[in-house]
Structure 1
Amino acid sequence: MRTAYCFDLDGTITSTEILPCIASELGVADEIATLTRITMDGLIPFEASFRLRCLILGQVSPSKVCSIVSEIPIDKSILSFIHENRADAFIVTGNLDIWIRPLLDLCGCRFYSSTGFYDKGLIRVDNVLNKADAIAEIRSLGYDRIVAIGDGANDAPMLYAADVSIAYGGVHSPSSTAKEAASHIVHEGVALCKMLRAL
């Protein structure tokens, strides 16, 4: 059976949320963290919240964002699992491709993300990823089974679309929406990878 392993990025592969780290450069880390948290909890729509956060964080230079993101901590056990299963591992993230490139390069697997570009010093969000669409596209690659791992409300469409869905609480408790969509709940990286290897 050919299995695809689909990982959310922020707070799943990474050991912290990425956008608040970028926001620290502007002195608004707490505000962006609060906005990120209530978005993850499903209290406001992901796309509207994400576009607002991009508008605010677009003030940080691309080179500085790259430097900040390069220092984001990664769960080493999950990273090892991705490297071991590189051909069948996917990152499925609502974050912007141009912001997360250092992490994508580190993981070295295929990915689906929101897309954006800089235009005259301003960030332009080209497309905000629908995670269910990403799962459908991955399934079309010939996979018999999709395993999805995520923690926020925006992960719920991906979790519902998967054959095995895991709400992950490595950094903070999974949102109630993610837990409702999940067939399993795991709270630690080593335990997650042990479970993935046993599937």
Structure 2
Amino acid sequence: MKTAFCFDLDGTVTSTEILPCIASELGVADEISTLTRATMDGLISFEASFRLRCLILSRVPPERICSIAKEIPINADILSFIQKNKNNTFIVTGNLDIWIQPILDLCGCQVFSSKGVYEGNILHVNNVLNKAHAISKIRASGYDRIVAIGDGANDAPMLAAADISIAFGGVHSPSTTAKNAAQYIIHEGATLCKMLHAL
């Protein structure tokens, strides 16, 4: 049985949410964190919230954002699993491709993400990823079984579309929406990877 492992990025592969780290550059970390948490809890739609957060954070130069992304802590157990299984592993993230490229390069697997481009100093968000659509595309590419791992409300459609769904909270507890959509709840990277190896 050909299995695809689909990981959310922020708060799942990484030990922290990426956008609040970028927000520290503008002195609006608390505001962005509050908006991120409200989104993760399902109080605000992901697309509306994400576009607003991108608008606020677009004042940070893209090269500075990439240097911040390089410093984001990553769960070592999960990263090792991804690198060893990169041919059948996918990062499925609502975050912008151009902001998270250093992390994606480190993971070395396939990616579904939101898409953005800078025209001069202006950021344009061209597409905000629908995670359920990503899972459909992955399944259509020849996978018999989908395992999905995520922590936020925006991960619930991905978790619901998967054959095996795991709400993961390494540092923060997964959102109630993610927990309700998942078959399993795991809080440690090493435990998660042991389960994934056993599947």
Structure 1 length-normalised TM: 0.99
Map 1:44-123 → 2, pairs under 5 A: 44-123=44-123
Query: 1:132 aligns to what?
Result: 132
- Cα RMSD after superposing both structures: 0.5
Map 1:32-47 → 2, pairs under 5 A: 32-47=32-47
Post-superposition shift, 1:17?
A: 0.4
Question: Which letter maps to 1:9?
Answer: L
C-alpha separation in 2, matches of 1:86 and 1:46: 27
SS of 1:35's partner is helix
Query: 1:6 aligns to what?
Result: 6
Matched, 1:15 2:12: no
Post-superposition shift, 1:41?
A: 0.3
Post-superposition shift, 1:184?
A: 0.4
Aligned residue pairs total 199
Question: Which letter maps to 1:58?
Answer: S
Post-superposition shift, 1:120?
A: 2.4
SS of 2:180's partner is helix
Matched, 1:146 2:143: no
Hey, which bits of structure 1, 4+ residues long, moved more than 2 A? none
Structure 2: gaps of 5 or more residues:
none
Post-superposition shift, 1:122?
A: 1.3
Question: Which letter maps to 1:35?
Answer: L
Identity of aligned residues (%): 73
C-alpha separation in 1, matches of 2:191 and 2:12: 13
Question: Which letter maps to 1:182?
Answer: A
C-alpha separation in 1, matches of 2:88 and 2:80: 13
C-alpha separation in 2, matches of 1:120 and 1:87: 36
